[in-house]
Chain A
């Protein structure tokens, strides 16, 4: 995927110079480009359940536009949706999920949509939109705890899905996933809550250092048998004196 925003507008570049004679042109929906975006979301499974974390920034290109955005969204009592990518598409998705949850409530059979169901629904919506060349430009992490089962899944704008004990979207895939994999793989049932928080914090710190579209203001979601608990906003400590003694860039 081309991460350079100015290269996304392929159609605009193709259409430059062509006269706009087609009156139906505006009615056709097209693959867009993300405008207001959120960066990485990271998640892991631990002893008591699942944890997700994300910063609270919505960028407008290179501008840090909104710093109070809640990218971790609870759906029902035992599921959390973490979103990265276009924020307007995320808001639409939130609305969609709310609608679905309410409609299920109408059936009045006592059944509430579980994490697995929400994940399945979302992945079908995403793949469907991709097949119409009008994607919801997001990468989602769905995390939850149902019937003593920990769930953690990923869905993105292409409809790609996978489940794993550690997941990271965006830059997190390059910077946080190596740390998460090393720390969690094999220990999903023994990691304590404190250890899980420490692992997530060290990942968030690395992301704050090396992702140019990140922000030092985070939220963390914990899903256990007790339900969903979202803490934040909080900061991580960072060290910037690593090159104090260094002058210049060469001889």
Chain B
């Protein structure tokens, strides 16, 4: 029995297009997509790549998730931050992560960032921007540290420092003032944290905590909630009701299970 990696079918799948047009005519509106608002950043420092993200997911003006994870695993040495439609970033990165693992098994080698890049961009281009995933892809492979951005329509950029999402300008202003070549590890982490915090406090689409992931040669550190600048204030008192606050008027205990001695045969006639 031979197995073959299935090539993805070309072109955009228009199966649901007619159905959507028909539904819209009937007055049924599309459900609001959960967007990640978002501030995501990445930078290359002396020994590797440092990725950062905020943790707020929005559905229009409402915060849907106060502590979601926007830095996705792609391969042991590659991670990807995602901004845009939450489901799109989630499933796109999961799909390519799965494809990369199969690829690793076929080649017997560590994954390369360029491989993840080409898989992601070819898929996003095929869907002509309808998959709303804006990604910051970073990793450390045989060629050293690598950082890319991928836009929903499939264009990519290779840069030493990048930001994406609604908070990208706030974060980029921090990077443009303070980034330089060959930062030390802690300096890089601090710069990433400051950039994300700039997005959290100055952009309404971003908020809550800071996630950081540091990728070096043969070492990955995932710092979930590296900084929590928005912790809820402690309540002044305990507002629990004491036992006895509600008076017990009547107590009645019923046995729901009737226990009989011996085994009764089931009647199967």
Which A residues lie at the B interface, using CB under 8 A?
A: 171, 174-179, 181-182, 202-203, 205-206, 209-210, 242-243, 246, 248-251
Contacts and interface: CB of A to CB of B under 8 A. Distances in A.
A250 B177 contact: no
Contact of A250 (B148, B161, B179, B202): B148
A14 to B, nearest CB: 24
A206 B202 contact: no
B252 to A, nearest CB: 63
Interface of B: 114-115, 117-118, 121, 148, 155-161, 169-170, 172-174, 176-177, 179, 181, 198, 201-202
B173 A206 contact: yes
A174 B198 CA distance: 10
Contacts of B157: 249
B158 A250 contact: yes
Given A181-B201, A250-B148, A175 B173 contact: yes
A178 B172 CA distance: 10
B74 to A, nearest CB: 15
Contacts of A205: 176-177
A250 B176 contact: no
B156 A249 contact: yes
Contacts of B114: 250-251
Given A206-B176, A246-B159, A251-B117, 17 more contacts: A171-B169, A176-B173, A178-B173, A181-B201, A181-B202, A205-B176, A205-B177, A206-B177, A210-B173, A242-B159, A242-B181, A243-B159, A249-B157, A250-B117, A250-B118, A251-B114, A251-B118
A109 B177 CA distance: 49
A162 to B, nearest CB: 15
Nearest to B113: A251
B180 to A, nearest CB: 8
B158 A248 contact: yes
B202 A177 contact: yes
4 closest A-B pairs by beta carbon, nearest first, are A251-B114, A174-B169, A178-B170, A178-B202
B177 A179 contact: yes
Contacts of B198: 178-179, 182
A171 B158 CA distance: 25
Nearest to A250: B156
Contacts of B179: 242
A147 to B, nearest CB: 33
A205 B172 CA distance: 12
A178 B198 CA distance: 6
B158 A249 contact: yes
Contacts of A248: 158
Given A178-B201, A178-B202, A251-B117, A246 B158 contact: yes
B50 to A, nearest CB: 16
A179 B201 contact: no
A247 to B, nearest CB: 8
Contacts of A181: 201-202
B156 A175 contact: no
Contacts of B176: 205-206, 209-210
A3 to B, nearest CB: 13
B176 to A, nearest CB: 4
Contacts of A175: 169-170, 172-173
Nearest to A176: B173
Nearest to B197: A182
A34 B125 CA distance: 36
Nearest to A247: B158
Contacts of A171: 169
